């Protein structure tokens, strides 16, 4: 009953019987003694609070929908792009492959369906590449130098954000190309390489960034040289080693890791696999391995040196001519969790099933069974139940999956060879919340090197680490981080760019600020500490609007062999604008006029044209306001809260 009442209030504010009209009349016309008045309280929306890279998602959705008008004659796409890259310089890439925790957190899920945030980001990112948009160069040089070790998402993000602040950067990358797991861990049909190269080149094009590829720190250049030549060092070496299966027999030659499998495929060395293959995992990496295997297939006659594991171990590379005799590969993907509870994105899981991958959920490996030559011939498994993240085997459910190749995609480890002094004892680099390496002066670290997670998480690490490295270079210290650590909307910056900034404060005592021009009165910013939940919105304002979905190309199992075409088509400009308009603008005014229309005293009014901006669309005449709460009750976004005043 309590839950039903709560739901009714979200949509109607008051359930039947909660209030009577006569009570409201008395409150409105006889409560002149109230000292309450509306305060405009900015809070972080859950989409942004859920985004590991800290995108100002609500901000660039406002741009796309036409609420936040561009300045200096820019197109809305260019203005939205600038807002996106303030946090994340890879909108086209992340718009395709990010599993979108922002969409999981979207309050619109309580009304109909989440806002297609990834789809809007995808459109704007591709538009920026097609129109050759660049990144702003720094306003001034600081004279400071920073070494970035690793050219993956964390390293490139840090290099970009540090360069924006005027520091000169040198990137050291072991591979021959930049991109890290975006290039070597995800197949091209999910991340087109020309698109990725354009986003990487845009960062290098800022100038002041030197790139040294095929250079491994700790092998080709000692750490001491970096400490001598640079003012700070950021470690973004990733987690380049896959975890083997923790079962007997897993050291067989044809037991490999998903990280190695995908790296060799993405480098063009692995052209085909075996006839029967088992992938153990359940996350996105295991899906990628299985999907790639279905695309490259197997050949009927393979020489010993052409076995897939030999390619992975680096002994040889497949001859392209051999691909002409390929046939389909039988792939079984296993997961500790039930199929519906797998860590992989639902969309990727459904694609894999459609492409002919067999998925077994709720099972665990017990042993790799070997043949007379010591090679894996089957994987012994059983059904299991999960106690948190620990599998509990169910006796009597054992079975075998016969195979020619076993791929372990159960996680990653750091490869700290040559820099063992940075190992925290668990194969990773230990760092604090400011991403400063523990016990190492002027060393910072981020991305998978400290905690394997999403690509967008690594990008967020690079952004925050850049802020802290900048603080360190300026003061020798780092600063504390806010509770909600994202790229926040700043009302003062918004007013300044529109030449609406407050006047200088005369430092004289003043009672009240409502008539003064030096203060942003009636506004409170709680975004650094609060995320606004759906319970504080007026959901009844929002009608059903179906999500504008990107067209996804579903490939049949009979047509998957050799099919490496991209699977997701972009939205059109009109569809993108319409999808952005579904945003409920949680925690920020979106100019619905409800408070103006329903105020019985005409105390709430629109800000004069030419003086308005995002976050400053309405104002209150305190001489008229009687504190009746109606403006707060009809505010769909929870932006209006009642506070004490006079």
Q: DSSP string spanning 294-310? A: HHH-EESS--GGGSHHH
pLDDT at residue 2, as a whole number: 43
**Cα separation values, 298 from 88, 256, 263, 323, 634, Å:** 39, 17, 18, 8, 63
**How many Å apart are CA 160 and CA 202, to the nearest integer?**
10
- What is residue 316's predicted lDDT score, i.e. its pLDDT? 59
268: left (phi over 0), alpha (psi -120 to 50) or beta: left
User: For residue 621, what pLDDT is reported?
Assistant: 87
Q: State residue 8's pLDDT score.
A: 47
CA distance 628 to 642: 9
Run means of pLDDT, 10 residues per run, the chain, 646 residues:
47 57 49 71 96 96 95 93 97 96 96 97 98 96 98 98 98 97 96 98 98 97 97 96 96 96 94 95 96 92 72 64 69 97 90 96 98 97 95 97 97 93 94 95 97 95 98 95 94 91 85 77 92 95 95 92 93 98 96 95 91 91 86 95 71
Please state, in angstroms and as integers, the Cα–Cα distance from residue 62 to each residue in 523, 583, 636, following that order.
19, 8, 16
**DSSP state letter for 120:** H
According to the model, what pLDDT value does residue 506 have?
Answer: 81
Contact 39, 633 (CB under 8 A): no
Predicted pLDDT of residue 197: 98
> Domains of the chain, with CATH numbers?
22-43+490-526+587-646 (3.30.70), 145-240+415-475 (3.50.50.60), 244-413 (3.50.50.60)
**pTM for the whole structure:** 0.91
The pLDDT of residue 311: 79
Q: Mind listing the pLDDT tens digit for each residue in 436-486?
A: 998 999 999 999 999 999 999 999 999 999 999 999 999 999 999 999 999
* 3-state DSSP percent of the chain in helix, strand and coil, to 5: 35, 15, 50
Q: What is the pLDDT of residue 333?
A: 98
Instruction: List, for residues 195-244, the tens digit of each pLDDT value.
Output: 999 999 999 999 999 999 999 999 999 999 999 999 999 999 999 899 99
Angle at 343 (CA atoms; ends 338, 348), nearest 5 degrees: 100
Structure tokens at 632: 């707060």
| Nearest-angstrom CA–CA distance, 317 and 265 | 10
């Amino acid at each position: 009953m309590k839950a039903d009442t709560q739901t009714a209030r979200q949509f109607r504010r008051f359930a039947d019987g909660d209030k009577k009209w006569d009570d409201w009349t008395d409150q409105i016309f006889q409560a002149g003694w109230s000292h309450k008045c509306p305060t405009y309280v900015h809070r972080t929306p859950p989409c942004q609070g859920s985004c590991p890279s800290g995108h100002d998602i609500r901000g660039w959705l406002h741009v796309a929908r036409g609420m936040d008008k561009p300045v200096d004659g820019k197109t809305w796409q260019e203005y939205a792009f600038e807002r996106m890259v303030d946090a994340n310089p890879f909108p086209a890439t992340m718009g395709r492959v990010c599993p979108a925790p922002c969409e999981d957190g979207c309050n619109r899920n309580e009304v109909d369906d989440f806002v297609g945030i990834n789809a809007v980001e995808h459109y704007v990112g591709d538009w920026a590449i097609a129109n050759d948009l660049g990144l702003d160069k720094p306003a001034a040089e600081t004279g400071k130098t920073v070494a970035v070790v690793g050219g993956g998402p964390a390293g490139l993000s840090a290099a970009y954000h540090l360069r924006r602040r005027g520091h000169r950067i040198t990137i050291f990358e072991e591979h021959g190309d930049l991109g890290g797991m975006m290039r070597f861990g995800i197949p091209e049909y999910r991340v087109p390489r020309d698109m990725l190269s354009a986003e990487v080149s845009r960062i290098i094009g800022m100038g002041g960034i030197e790139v040294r590829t095929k250079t491994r720190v700790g092998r080709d250049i000692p750490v001491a040289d970096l400490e001598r030549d640079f003012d700070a060092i950021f470690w973004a070496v990733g987690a380049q080693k896959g975890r083997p299966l923790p079962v007997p027999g897993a050291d067989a030659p044809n037991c490999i890791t998903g990280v190695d499998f995908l790296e060799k495929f993405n480098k063009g060395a692995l052209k085909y696999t075996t006839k029967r293959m088992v992938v153990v995992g359940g996350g996105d990496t295991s899906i990628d391995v299985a999907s790639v295997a279905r695309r490259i297939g197997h050949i009927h006659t393979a020489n010993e040196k052409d076995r897939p594991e030999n390619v992975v171990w680096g002994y040889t590379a497949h001859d392209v001519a051999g691909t002409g005799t390929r046939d389909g590969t039988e792939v079984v993907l296993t997961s500790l969790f039930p199929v519906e509870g797998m860590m992989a994105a639902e969309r990727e899981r459904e694609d894999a099933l459609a492409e002919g991958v067999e998925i077994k959920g709720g099972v665990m490996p017990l042993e790799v069974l070997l043949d007379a030559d010591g090679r894996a011939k089957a994987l012994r498994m059983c059904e299991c139940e999960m106690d948190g993240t620990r599998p509990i085997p169910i006796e009597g459910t054992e079975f075998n999956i016969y195979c020619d190749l076993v791929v372990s995609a159960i996680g990653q480890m750091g490869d700290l060879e040559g820099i063992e002094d940075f190992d925290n004892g668990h194969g990773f680099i230990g760092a604090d919340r400011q991403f400063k390496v523990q016990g190492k002066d002027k060393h910072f670290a981020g991305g998978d090197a400290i905690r394997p997670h999403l690509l967008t998480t690594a990008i967020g690490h690079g952004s925050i680490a850049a802020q802290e490295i900048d603080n360190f270079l300026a003061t020798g210290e780092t600063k504390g981080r806010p509770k909600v650590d994202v790229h926040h909307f700043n009302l003062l910056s918004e007013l300044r760019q529109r030449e609406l900034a407050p006047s200088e404060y005369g430092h004289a005592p003043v009672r009240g600020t409502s008539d003064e021009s030096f203060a942003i009165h009636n506004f409170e910013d709680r975004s650094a500490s609060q995320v606004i939940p759906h319970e504080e919105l007026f959901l009844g304002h929002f009608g059903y609007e179906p999500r504008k979905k990107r067209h996804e190309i579903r490939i049949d199992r009979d047509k998957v062999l050799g099919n490496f075409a991209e699977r997701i088509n972009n939205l059109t400009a009109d569809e993108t604008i319409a999808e952005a308009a579904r945003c409920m603008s949680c925690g920020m005014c979106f100019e619905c006029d409800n408070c103006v229309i329903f105020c019985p005293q005409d105390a709430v009014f629109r800000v004069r044209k030419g003086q308005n901006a995002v976050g400053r669309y309405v104002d209150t005449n305190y001489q008229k306001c009687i504190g009746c709460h109606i403006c707060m009750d009809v505010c769909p976004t929870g932006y209006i809260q009642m506070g004490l005043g006079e």
